[in-house]
Structure 1
Amino acid sequence: MLHGKTVLITGGGQGIGKTLVEAFAQAGARVIAADIQGPVVTSMARQLSDQGLQVTGAALDVTDEAQVAELARSLWNSKGGVDVLINNAALFSTLKMQPFHEIELDVWERVLKVNLTGPFLCAKHFAPIMCKKGGGRIINVASGAVTLGRPNYLHYIASKAGLEGMTRSMARELGPHGVTVNAVLPGSVDTGIARETVTPESKARIVAMQCIPRGQRPEDLVGIMLFLASDSSSFITGQSITVDGGATHS
């Protein structure tokens, strides 16, 4: 399905990102797992390579433009660039649920920098390479929480809403060059990462909102991601696709 394609996945060291790294590698892609925790993705890449999969780990802070630009140059020289960019790196699990007027400015700015500026910087440096190659795919991981207007996460909601808007505008700019840009909006995914302010009761309430009454897993996102990265989705761009078990109907 993706044999011969080079795929960059940010935030690839844990949760959704780690699941996508494994899935794309199993689909035949050459995967670069980028994460601010360099040793984590390096170790993971080594283990997957031992299984015969093509995975490389790369330390990357998506908010550091110099690092993003250097990775883009390195991958152009070593692999001829990338065919697919998945902007997955984000701050969420470590965020404290709180009324928006209690959010400290430095926390607000950090969330926007990672969740919105990070994808912008990655697209800024990798999209021109895709255009030079004659096409590519950019997939932004937004959030179904935007559609819900979920309270007490205003910094996160604002960042992901901005990412949806960026997706639509970027699709207009890159479409003539054969590059599609879409957003995937997951629901409440159980990534195995502890979230201090989320209780079993709040999880149960979310599941009760869904048409499919079970918790969402990272694996539930694999199908749509593989599709959007493939040639089968070449006429789909500027779209926000919700994968949340039917919690929202947008």
Structure 2
Amino acid sequence: MNRMKGKVVIITGAAQGIGAVYAKAIAAEGAHVVVADVLDGSSVVAEIEASGAQALTITTDVSDERSAAAMATAAVERFGRIDVLINNAAIYASLKMQSFEEIDLDEWDKVMAVNVRGPFVCARAVAPHMRAQKYGRIINISSGTPFKGTPNLLHYVTSKGAILSLTRALARELGDHGIAVNTLAPGLVLSEGVVANAEMRERLTAPVIASRAIKRDQMPEDLIGPLLFLASDESAFMTGETVVVDGGSVMH
């Protein structure tokens, strides 16, 4: 229960959903957690602190460079360092499934700003702190969809495909500084947002489960073990990789 003892971990998009599950699981392993979200993360922080761990919430727009910089500064001011960044914030469950010809360009730009520019901007905000200590872990969250070419969500699938390339290139740039960069790629997870999106559940759940070797719904808790592996020193000699966790729908 102490794999992350004393580590300082920033998790974007952690005020609710899968991000909140990540935050509580990381805290339970001894880490100090920064909940960075455009939404209010105080309830997640209160729950973490009630368990005896330390946490901080900061309002963060991951697509904004100044906001990301303020996030990193707040983490260092409170906890003295940054060891892990989990780039979880993304636009997904609120999207309407539709043909690529029907996607509004403003929506396309918004998805790219959060899902692609966000991890880039946040990585750039924490990298100087990680370089200075010659240690760091950056975990980007992609998806199984780029491996499948899932239709009717072209902007989302494209954004998550970009994360695979971002991870590989960033791993090359940061490896000499003791910083590992990897990707966690979940399948269709029954997060709060997905459960609330009836259309998405109706159109995707049955075919996704049918494609899996382990034929059941995926829950947020299924991601905790792989996430802790990537965030801890257990994966110290691993970088530039993508770990797909989806019950065997994608095998690569």
TM-score when normalising by structure 1: 0.96
Q: 1:67 & 1:205 partners in 2: Cα distance?
A: 39
Show the 5 A alignment for 1:196-207: 196-200=198-202, 202-207=204-209
Show the 5 A alignment for 1:153-172: 153-172=153-172
Where has structure 1 moved over 6 Å in runs of 4 or more? none
Deviation of the 1:206 alpha carbon = 0.8
Match of 2:29 among 27, 43, 57: 27
Cα 1:73–1:192 change in 2 (3 A) is closer
Tell me the alpha carbon deviations over residues 154-204 of structure 1, each in whole angstroms, 9 at most, x when there is no partner: 000111111110000000000000000000110000002211422436312
Instruction: Determine if contact 1:186/1:244 at 8 Å carries over to the other structure.
Output: yes
Structure 2 residue aligned with 1:248: 250
Structure 1 residue aligned with 2:124: 124
Instruction: Determine if contact 2:86/2:139 at 8 Å carries over to the other structure.
Output: yes
Q: Would you say 1:115 and 2:119 are equivalent positions?
A: no
Structure 2 residue aligned with 1:208: 210
Between 188-197 and 157-166, the greater mean CA deviation after superposition = 188-197
Q: 1:81 & 1:28 partners in 2: Cα distance?
A: 15
Match of 1:239 among 222, 238, 241: 241
Deviation of the 1:34 alpha carbon = 1.0
Between 46-55 and 59-68, the greater mean CA deviation after superposition = 46-55
Structure 1 residue aligned with 2:10: 8
Q: 2:23 & 2:227 partners in 1: Cα distance?
A: 11
Structure 1 residue aligned with 2:149: 149
Cα 1:201–1:118 change in 2 (3 A) is closer
Structure 1 residue aligned with 2:232: 230
Q: 1:15 & 1:185 partners in 2: Cα distance?
A: 16
Instruction: Determine if contact 2:171/2:182 at 8 Å carries over to the other structure.
Output: yes
Instruction: Determine if contact 2:143/2:187 at 8 Å carries over to the other structure.
Output: yes
Show the 5 A alignment for 1:59-78: 59-78=59-78
Structure 1 residue aligned with 2:133: 133
Deviation of the 1:120 alpha carbon = 0.5
Q: 1:197 & 1:209 partners in 2: Cα distance?
A: 19
* Structure 1 unaligned regions, length at least 5: none
Tell me the alpha carbon deviations over residues 82-139 of structure 1, each in whole angstroms, 9 at most, x when there is no partner: 1000000000000010000111110000000000000000000101110111111000
Cα 1:139–1:199 change in 2 (3 A) is closer
Amino acid aligned to 2:61: D
Q: 2:212 & 2:34 partners in 1: Cα distance?
A: 34
Between 45-54 and 175-184, the greater mean CA deviation after superposition = 45-54
Q: Indicate the RMSD between aligned Cα atoms, in angstroms.
A: 1.1
Percent identity between the two aligned chains: 44
TM-score when normalising by structure 2: 0.96
Q: 1:188 & 1:71 partners in 2: Cα distance?
A: 29
Q: 1:168 & 1:72 partners in 2: Cα distance?
A: 23
Instruction: Determine if contact 1:94/1:196 at 8 Å carries over to the other structure.
Output: no
Structure 2 residue aligned with 1:218: 220
Instruction: Determine if contact 1:91/1:114 at 8 Å carries over to the other structure.
Output: yes
Cα 1:201–1:121 change in 2 (3 A) is closer
Deviation of the 1:77 alpha carbon = 2.7
Amino acid aligned to 1:24: I
Deviation of the 1:75 alpha carbon = 2.0
How many residues align structurally? 248
Q: 1:185 & 1:199 partners in 2: Cα distance?
A: 19
Q: 1:204 & 1:190 partners in 2: Cα distance?
A: 13
Other structure's SS at 1:66 match: helix
Amino acid aligned to 1:200: E
